[in-house]
Amino acid sequence: MASLKDIKTRIGSTKKTKQITKAMEMVSAAKLNRAQGKAEQFQPYQSKIREVVASIAKGSEDVSHPMLQERQEIRKTGYIVITSDRGLCGAYNSGLLRETYQLIQERHNSEDEYGLVVIGKVGRDFFKKRNMPIVQEIVGLADQPEYAEIKNIAETTVQMFTDEVFDEVFIHYNHFISAISQKVTEAKLLPLTSLVEEAEEPKEESSGRLSYLYEPDAETILEKLLPHYAESLIYGSLLDAKASEFGARMSAMRSATDNADNRISELTLSYNRARQAAITQEINEIVGGAAAQS
């Protein structure tokens, strides 16, 4: 049985751990609010560029672009995987990496059939440990990343599709649902076949249906806008994933704080019982000594 000193030491160390996890929970909550705000601010821009590009593509039936067309033969698939740089966020990374790994194993028979673009140290280390082909990586992003930080990797990935290094590109990340809920998500980034198929019809104004006047021509504009739109999808997914990361870390630290509270209660009860037993033992010894002398 542990001594009173040992139990008291464990209570003290658990209280210090609780202070740390509580502080980390509060920090994560603040970062979550900022990440949510940043993601929400980006949504109108992403929606508008999607609307414009879809309108041009749908209104110009004679215009085609390689980024809008499925390729007949899929020789190599690209996967963009967004993880965090640090742990202590529950199943945020493990769930995503497990599903991504399983999908790749099911879809591909050889490492020549796919390549990985990894954002985040946890994902980078996971795939390197398994000797999986990482073609690009980026770690150490800010908690509230700017587009400039991932511009190069986004542009390069889109260019690899254009150059037919990849015939299709998927993006894997944790979609933010709420502070306590995230969903592992796979979205097809390229080709942008869903852009025309799923885009909403232009909204109507009082004078009739909304339309766009553009110059010089549809093909030239799509040539410029489509790569930029694909890059915006990568950045938007990153912002979504960051909000999910902070939500997962906040929940994990809250759970750790609650566990520390429970552990402190258990240790305090053990301490009081041990103390009571020690007092009772001392009383018995005193009584026994007095009785021996009488």
Token pair belonging to 270: 């053990």
Phi, psi angle pair for 204, to nearest 5° = -95, 140
Residue with the larger pLDDT of the pair 95 and 50? 95
Token pair belonging to 170: 């998927």
Bridge partners for 78 per DSSP: 115, 169
Residue 70 has pLDDT above 90, yes or no: no
Q: How confident is the model at residue 29 (pLDDT cuts 50, 70, 90)?
A: very high
Of 111, 114, 82, whose CA–CA distance to 96 is shortest?
A: 82
Token pair belonging to 23: 């502080």
Residue 56 has pLDDT above 80, yes or no: no
Q: Where are the domains positioned within the chain?
A: 26-251
Residue 43 has pLDDT above 50, yes or no: yes
- Distance of alpha carbon 165 from alpha carbon 238, whole angstroms: 23
- What's the pLDDT at 7? 86
Residue with the larger pLDDT of the pair 177 and 287? 177
Q: 121 with 209: CB under 8 angstroms?
A: no
- Distance of alpha carbon 115 from alpha carbon 157, whole angstroms: 11
Q: 229 with 50: CB under 8 angstroms?
A: yes
Maximum CA extent, the chain: 116
**pLDDT tens across 103-143, in order?**
999 999 999 999 999 999 999 999 999 999 999 999 999 99
Residues 6+ apart with CB under 8 A from 150: 119, 138, 141, 234, 235, 238
Hey, what CATH topology would domain 26-251 get?
Pyruvate Kinase; Chain: A, domain 1 (3.40.1380)
- Distance of alpha carbon 15 from alpha carbon 18, whole angstroms: 5
Fill in the amino acid letter for 228.
H
- What's the pLDDT at 60? 61
Task: Supply the mean pLDDT for the chain.
Answer: 87
Residue 46 has pLDDT above 80, yes or no: yes
- Distance of alpha carbon 151 from alpha carbon 159, whole angstroms: 12
- What's the pLDDT at 235? 94
pLDDT, mean of residues 32-60: 84
Q: 187 with 177: CB under 8 angstroms?
A: no
| H or E, element range at 169 | strand 168-178
**pLDDT tens across 202-255, in order?**
454 444 445 666 777 777 788 888 888 889 999 999 999 999 999 999 999 999
Fill in the amino acid letter for 22.
K
Phi, psi angle pair for 26, to nearest 5° = -65, -40
Token pair belonging to 285: 């010894």
Of 145, 87, 94, 70, whose CA–CA distance to 121 is shortest?
A: 87
Of 24, 158, 155, whose CA–CA distance to 86 is shortest?
A: 24
- What's the pLDDT at 199? 44
